[in-house]
Amino acid sequence: MQKARIKLASIDINKLNQTCDYIKDISDKTGVDMRGPIPLPTKKLRITTRKSPCGDGSETFERFEMRIHKRLIDLGLDERALRLVMRVPIPEGLNIEIEMVDV
């Protein structure tokens, strides 16, 4: 049986959860089987830089961190549901990948 695997990734968790809710509503309206959203591990990107531009003075550092949140949704293969998923408004900064998988 084939399913559509939808991978969502974003820096902003609110946009990510909002898009997951849209996809959940679509699966409820069309009656398609859905698993998820499954939270995947959050990737933390850290950068540490020296505050002083010249190198003199006390050794003080700035730390910056960016978190990438990910979700995974398995959706039953239905043409009407997939068309509705394609029309979901995608906020800026949200990455979506859709692939067909044999389960």
Supply the range of the domain harboring residue 41. 2-102
pLDDT digits (tens, 9 = 90+) for 40-59: 999 999 999 888 887 777 88
Query: How far are the Cα atoms of 16, 17, 33, 83, 91 from residue 48, in angstroms, in the given order?
Result: 27, 29, 45, 44, 29
CB 9 within 8 A of CB 94: yes
- The model's pTM is 0.80
**How far apart, in whole angstroms, are the C-alpha atoms of residue 11 and residue 19?**
13
pLDDT digits (tens, 9 = 90+) for 87-100: 988 999 999 999 99
CATH at residue 87: 3.30.70.600
Number of structural domains found in the chain: 1
